[in-house]
Every structure is written in C-alpha cells, then in structure tokens.
Structure 1
Amino acid sequence: MLGIHCLFVHVLFSYLHPSRVKPKKPEEELVRRRSMRLQRVDPSGAPLPEIPAQPDSVIDDYVRWGRRKEEILPIPDTSLNQMILTEDAVTKVVKNRIYSVAVHPSESRTLVAAGDKSGQIGLWDLNSKGEDGVYVFIPHSQPVSCMSFSPLNPAHLLSLSYDGTIRCGDVTRAIFEEVYRTKEKSSSCFDFLADNASTLVVGHWDGDVAVVDKRTPGTSSELSANINSKTIRTVHVHPVNRQYFVAAGAMNVCIYDARYLKPNGNKPISTLSGHTKSVASAYFSPITGDKVVTTCADDKLRVYETSSLSSTIPVLTAIKHNNNTGRWLTRFRAIWDPKQEDCIVVGSMARPRQIEVFQATGEQLHSFYNVDYLGSVCSINAMHPTKNILVGGNSSGRLHVFKD
C-alpha cells in the first residue's frame, strides 16, 4: 500500500503543484485565528450591531466564472452530443455502493473521486491506463455521503461520513487529517460557507446544522443549531450571497441565513413548498443562485425561482421523473451543470440505462447512454466545472466518465 501511495504522490504532485517553494520553518508555531464573525463580536471584543431582519435579496451583477448574467447562454445540444463513453472510461474504483462523487477542476488531467458505503474513497486518474490509475484509501468507517475538492487548494479533498467526521485529504501526500468530529450525531452533508473554504456548514441526520471554522484549533464546531427539521439530507450555499444556504430534509426545503443561526428557535427566511414525500436533495443554480432544484420521492424534480427570497416560494416547474430507486440503489440527487444556469443532470431508472439532462423549464435536452458500456443505474453524478466531463457512479463501485 505504501508503494501505491508513493506512486500516487509522484503522478499528481507535478500538475497540482507545478512549482512549489519549500516554506521556511517559522520560529514559533502560530496560533490559528478564531472566527470573530461567528462569535458576533468585533476585533476589540465589542458586540456587533444587530443584522437587519429583512435580508438583502439583490444579487451582484458579476457572477462566477467571470461572466455577467446577460452573457449566460443555454448549453447547446451539440456540446452534449459530443460527450461519449468509451471502454477505457469505465472502471471499478471502490468496493461497495457509491454514495458521493467529485471531479477535480484540473484542465490538464482528468481526476475523479468516489466515496462508498464502507468508508472507502477511490481516486481515479484517467490519464493513467487501466487499474494503474486507481488509488483506494479508507479514511472513514461508514458511508462517505459528501465530497468536494477545496476551492482554495484543489490538492485537498474534503470528505464527510455518516461516522460524524469530516476529513481533509491531501492527495499529493495521501494523508487524511480530521477537520470535524461529532460523537453525538451522524453527519449527512456539508458545503463551504466561505469562498476560501475556511468555514463550512454541516448537516446532520437528526435535523441540526453545525458551523465549522477550520482555522479554529480542534475538531469541534463553532455553533450547533436546531433548524426544526426532522432530518437533513443536503445543505447547499448560495453561490453569490454566501450567507444563505438551503437545507433539504423530510418533506421540507428551507433557506436560512447563517448570520442568524443560534442553538434553538431558528426560522427560515424562505420555504420551498409543494413536496409531498421525503426530499433527497436541494441545490442552488451554480452561477446566480436564482433557482433551486429539488429531488423528491413523490417522483418529481421541482425548480423554484429564488432571485427574490420571500417567505414562501411556490414551484416554478415540476418535472415528472421516476425517483423510486428502492433500497439497493443510492437515491437520486438532481444537480446543476456548474458551467450553466439552467441545465439539470440526474440519474434515471429508464432502459437502456442512462443519465438524463433537463432544462429548468422541464424540457429534456439529452440522455447520456451507451448500451455496450453502461448497463447499470448511475444514481450519483458530477460534472467538471469548466470542461465537458460527466461522471456517473453506480451501486457496485463503478464510475462511468462521458467526455468529448
């Protein structure tokens, strides 16, 4: 195993850190800065003024990827048609059912990650041939339900497990360090509250959320908040106004302001109504956050207009979709293509086996399938942030990568 890890470091180090200068050893170990914002005091220790009750719903004119709203165009069908699945883009990377998938943002290589039911994390470098590009680690003891490469340092892969821990894996050193641990709760999901990945919002199966500041010594949270939900399956932070996050639980999907969170008595600023069964996921659209897509067990994908955060937000579009995956498949989670504002990607129970793409209006744009190399349901999917790459994970630990 040590030899595999060393090989992995050699392969990845060159393109994750093409030129790294060894830092000078400090004379004294620096003490991590505590988050004064989360303690609601200024640097002098004086209490901060109360935040206005009505949140500002104006979204900045500039959006992610350096484009304005008016420059955002629907994804063309030709782009989707050019993405194909080949025999060498299908590989088993973990032992058991896949619960989470992440795609590295590198432009030069294709590196994907999968977390499985037993706590394994598999990293697959598609630029290496066959099984030589697969590296497996066991940083957790229970299902890995959420993973993401750090927006500050793409060499860091953060993973969350049902075992109540979040670990930060440095893929250049094959070391997973513990960022967060809770003994009392089982964790379900996380997202970055800050652009620099310094703070996280973490969801728990019992319906609580926690705010974690990685700069604070130790592995405990800054705050644990009861948001009056029976359970939380996903949390997702607004891509522009990052104080807002959406939490999906039993039949409730609500948007909260992280600045207002307190241990008890929290109220949402918006409720996304209309779900009649449990909700598997809810995600803001990736560029403006003007929409939210949800996946519900009542066999519907719902799209909500969230450009203005009123107290109750009705359904904008309801898409009929078979979400009855049963007990042996991971539940579907409809996601947005991070390059587009209105392109939804979701697994499918249809035959031949496929991954479906919808517009926010409900129109089906495309189906990714290959009768020769895709014969199973890809419940969990992820797309590259800038390139035409789609990764689908199934319940036997296998990844399928469509690319142009």
Structure 2
Amino acid sequence: MPPLSQYEIEREANIARNRALLEQLELTQAVASLPSKAPKAEPKAKPVQPSKRSKASKEAEAPRRQSARLRRGAVDPNEAPSQKRKREAEEEERLAKEAEERLEAEERARAAKRPRHHDLDIQALVDDLGAEDISTLTESLQAITKEEYPRRAADIHSYADLDDEQEEREVAELRSKLRGLKVVARAKVTEDRVYSAVYHPEPSKDLIFFGDKHGQLGIWDARAAPDEVADEDDDVTPTNKESGKYWRLQLHWPATSKSSISCLKLNPVNSHSLYSTSYDCTIRNLSFGSGASTEVFSTTDNTLISSIDLTPTGADMWISDALGGVTHLDLREDKSKARWYGLSDQKIGSLSLNPTQPNFMVTASNSRALRLVDIRLDAPITPPPSSPGAPEDGNSVGTDETLIFDSATVSEYTQTKRGEGCLRGEWRHDKSVSSAYWDPRGRSIVSTSYDDTLRLWDFNPSCFAKNSSFPSARPFSRLRHNCQTGRWLTILRAQWTPNPDVYPHFTIGNMDHSLDIFTCKGDLITRLSDPKRITAVQAVTCSHPNVLERAASGNGSGRCVLWAPA
C-alpha cells in the first residue's frame, strides 16, 4: 500500500475529530428521538381536470430551401440552343407559378387574421367537435326555445317603503338562503380568461354562457350528467373532476386577444338568442333555434366595442366604445342607419338602460365620470355638415353611412332649450369608472371604480319625470373594495341579480378568491369561498334571473364555478 500524502493524512484527522465531536454532543440519540415521519400537510386545492383534452396540433415541417442551381439540376454544357430556350421558358413558368402560390398563401394567412362578417353555422363555429357532440349541442340549444323567457323587471316602488324592521327581516331571509351556497360544480368552460358571462333564465336548468379573451363562447350546462371519459390521471379524485357538459364555440375571429368577448346579452323578448360584442369590432347574434351566427353591427378597426344593452322590446340596441361614444342601432332597420354620439373624450367601458324607465341610460367612463342621459331627447339633433364622416380626431366610427355627432355637437345641443334635459346627472369619481348598472327596479345604481370604491345611488321615482332634474347629491353609500386587478385579471364589475322577485342585491368578485354579495343598501350579505377548491380570483359573476340560490363565476384561466345549495 503506497504511503498517504500529507493532504490525505490531514483529511483523515479531520474526519476523526468531527466524529469524536458528534459523539460528545450525543447527536446520535437526538436524531433517533426525532419522529420518523413529518406531519401530513393539508391537501392543496387541485385545479379542475378537463375531461375533454385537446390534442396538440403538430405543425408540418416547412420544406428546406434550395438554391435555384440545385433545383434545376446539372445543365448540359453541350445542349442545343433550342433546348436552352425551352429549359429557360420552363424555369420562368415554374418561378411564376411558385410566386403565385406564395401570394395566395400569404393572402389566405391575412384572411385568417381578419374578423368574419359573414353568416356562420354551428359546424363553422365548432369545427373540432364530432358529429355526435354537435348533435347534442344543437338539441340542447333548441330545447330552450320551446318556452319563452322574457327579461323581467321589478316594480320601481318595490321594497322602497319598508320600515327598518321589515327591511331587517328581508335582509335576514336573504342572508339565510345565500350564505349556505356551496361549490356544486366546476369546469374549464373556456380555454382562456373569462371576460363576460350571462345566466339563462330557464328555471329547470343551470345554463350559463361565458365569453373569453380569444373570442370563444363557452356554453355550460352545469347540472347535466357529464360524459363518461376514461381517466388519464390516477391521482384525480372525483371532487377535482369536471361537472356538467360544456361546448366551446369560436364565435369571434381571429382566435387572439384582438377578439375578446367584452359583453353578452340574451334577447330580452324570449331569450332565444345571444348577442355578443367583441374587440374584433363586431356584434353577432347567435340563434339557439337555427344555430346560425349573424353579424348585427360592425365598426372600423380603430373602434373597440366595450358593451351593449337592449330595450325591453328588443328593438333598440345601445353600444358603447373605446372612443367615448355611444351608438344607437334600431335592429328593425339596416345597420347603416345607426347614429353615433360622442359623450366623453375617453373610453366608455359600460352602459346600462333603466329596465323600468328605458329612456334613461347610465354610462361609466375612463374620464372618471358617471353620466345619466335621457335618450328621449336625441332625435332633434340635426346631422352636422360633415356627416356621414369621422370625428375630429381622425378616428372613424361605424359603417360608411353611420351618422356622426361628435362631442362638440352633442355639447352644443345640450346647452339649447330643447336639449338642456338630455344630460340629467354627472358624478365624478377619484379614478376611472369601470362599470355602472341599474338594478331590476330601475331606481338604484351601483358603480365600480379603480379608486377601490363601490358607490350606490337610490333615486326617487319622481326624478324620472321628463322635465325634472336629478338631485346633484353624492352616493348614499360608499364601500371599500379592492379593484386593483392588474393586467392579468378581468376588471371587477358589480352585477345586480336580475331576479325581480327578491330583495335587490348584487355580486362582485373579491381579490381574496371569494364571491361577495351586497344588498342595495350596501350591507354585506355573505362572502362565499372554498379555499380547498377555489384558489383564483372569481373576477366575472352572474346570477340566475328566476332562481334565487344560484350564482356563477369565472376566473382568469377559463375555469368556472356554480354556487348553489349543497
């Protein structure tokens, strides 16, 4: 055995000293006394597992480039002049054909990125589904057209004359029913972030429509029996699997963030069709009976549509956009007959028509102003000489024949005797107003603002007389609520429960992953949460129009939740 080096001798000595030191400190017994297993941690909430797994599409490998010399092959140095002319003619013909094919491919690629303005059927909207799934979807949509479910409005005087004791009793009854709501169904209804939602009024179903960031419409029958799908993950428990059935329709195109579905509204007359607005600058109507999607309205590429609302008759639609204007569209006429009114110098994020007094519209703008407009007085405005045309800033709105009334024209008209009652009220917020909506009675307004405040107004019915002025009063209630969603979450909006038979209340998502429910007076009814199953902000909410104990919410990944009695 060769002698050890000085380094190895010092190393062995260090090891011996360390071993002796550990024995003196009796660490062996200390280690032996420790528990053999660490305490079991609380199981973390797993995201709901999709039952329908999309296959990853593999792109075909592009052909490798070759030089023209290699494609031509070797040229015979002794070829005859006639053969050379023939070869060169063939080469020119081939190059021209390749250039034509390349131009056609580029045009197809450009067309694939443009919004679709033509009529679309179910097959075009769900081209990745099989015939059986399309048949099931068609039958489900047609089934809800057998009955009419008109949008209902409450009486403007309902719950207005209650004394304190009666009001406490109503709130207590509401709290007792809503505080027991649990997560009864979960599913990844859309592939991307949920932007909008609406609950169908069919009382025997929980049918909810969700619009996502990439123009996809998710239709979720939350209580339907789920399809039998073989498990791919052995560790997925039944509570982490999807519930109900859902279908995904590519309603707006292209399938990018340029086609986010910003608003969904059911036909107020019978709920047999769905209106959707998108950042692709179009509004489409999906008929449940025929399955056809048709374009209702479109603007130019520079004007994003933010929200819509319809009158109770379903004949008139009002549209808000990113240029600070609202468009009136009579659905009985051609869309070229629309009228655009400039009401703000910044984006109007939402508008809402009073359900009992549909002549009154409330708008929420990035200019920090909430405005109350009497739309009965818009007709006397005479078209300016530049109409049809574009506003002064150079951005065009609507179709070529849309009548344009810029903000200067509207402001001048409101200062005349005939137009002095058009703008009935204006209330400033500390930061931009992200939403403002009327309640089902048409007397209360709730607004959401980036100043982390929810504001509530209540108007006496006498204010709605044609020549009456609204009191320039502050909101009667201000609620602190974190609305700092950032760029990765959908803006929080307080949504009234559309059920007119119950005490007015609204729902709003909470940054602490709960769903908050407040009364029309600003009292917190309950805060729904489930930390074991909900680990994301429920940014988008909606409620059943005819069943009290039903609410739905969606998050930034397309996962949606149904809240109902256990």
Shared fold (TM-score, shorter chain, > 0.5): yes
Match of 2:213 in 1: 117
Aligned twin of 1:355: 515
| Equivalent residues of 1:164, 1:186 under 8 A apart | yes
Aligned counterpart in structure 2 of residue 78 of structure 1, from 160, 164, 176: 176
Work out the CA distance in 2 between the residues paired with 1:300 and 1:371.
Answer: 25
The equivalent of 1:136 in structure 2 is 248
1:96 alignment counterpart: 192
- Compute the TM-score of the two structures, normalised by the length of structure 2: 0.59
2:379 counterpart of 1:283 = no
Distance 2:198 2:432 in 1: 24
What does the per-residue CA deviation read over 1:333-368, in whole Å, with 9 as the maximum and x for residues that have no partner?
011122345412111012xx2111122333211011
Number of aligned residue pairs: 354
Partner of 1:220 in structure 2? 336
Letter in 1 for 2:217: I
1:176 to 281, 285, 293: 293
Give the drift of 1:79.
1.1
What are the within-5 Å matches in structure 2 for residues 229-244 of structure 1? 229-244=345-360
Structure that is richer in strand per residue: 1
Measured in 2, the distance between the counterparts of 1:195 and 1:294 equals: 22
Counterpart check, 1:5 vs 2:134: yes
Q: Residues of 1 paired with 2:252 and 2:144: CA distance? A: 27
Give the distance between the partners of 1:67 and 1:279, measured in 2 at CA. Answer: 25
Any conservation in 2 of the 1:229–1:252 contact (CA below 8 Å)?
Answer: no
* Partner secondary structure for residue 457 of structure 2: strand
Q: Confirm or deny that 1:366 pairs with 2:483.
A: no
Query: 2: CA distance between counterparts of 1:179 and 1:336?
Result: 26
Distance in 1, Cα, partners of 2:303 & 2:440: 29
Tell me if 1:249 matches 2:402. no
Which amino acid in structure 2 is aligned with residue 13 of structure 1? Q
- List runs of 5+ in structure 2 lacking aligned partners: 1-128, 163-169, 228-243, 254-258, 382-404, 415-421, 464-468
Per-residue deviation at 1:18? 6.1
* Separation (CA, whole Å) in 2 of partners of 1:16 and 1:65: 24
Out of 484, 494, 498, the residue aligned to residue 324 of structure 1 is 484
Candidates 299, 304, 309, aligned match of 2:457: 304
Asked if the contact 2:370/2:428 (under 8 Å) is kept, the reply is no
Superimposed CA distance per residue, residues 191-212 of structure 1 (whole angstroms, 9 cap, x where no aligned partner): 01x2121111000011010011
Q: Report if aligned partners of 2:344, 2:365 keep a CA contact under 8 Å in 1.
A: no
Q: Distance in 2 between matches of 1:145 and 1:70?
A: 32
Alignment partner for residue 270 of structure 1, among 401, 409, 424? 424
CA RMSD of the aligned region, Å?
Answer: 2.2
**Further displaced range: 333-342 or 387-396:** 333-342
- In 1, Cα distance between equivalents of 2:458 and 2:207: 34
Contact persistence 2:222–2:562 (CA under 8 A) = no
CA distance in 1, matches of 2:203, 2:294: 26
Q: Distance in 1 between matches of 2:524 and 2:210?
A: 27
Deviations 1:263-286 (A, max 9, x none): 232445333424110111001121
Per-residue CA distance 1:39-93 (angstroms, 9 max, x = gap) = xxxxxxxxxxxxxxxxxxxxxxxx935796258854621110232212xx11011
2:264 aligned residue:
147
Distance 1:393 1:201 in 2: 26
Q: Which has the higher helix share?
A: 2
* Distance (whole Å) between structure 2 residues aligned to residue 229 and residue 66 of structure 1: 35
CA deviation after TM superposition for structure 1 residue 254, in Å? 0.2
1:334 maps onto 2:494 in alignment: yes
Distance in 2 of aligned mates of 1:228 and 1:64? 29
Whether the 8 Å contact between 1:94 and 1:116 is mirrored in structure 2 is yes
Match of 1:403 in 2: 564
1:382 to 519, 525, 542: 542
Greater Rg over alpha carbons, structure: 2
TM-score normalised over the length of structure 1: 0.82
Matched residue, 1:391: 552
What is the CA distance between 1:111 and its match in structure 2? 0.5
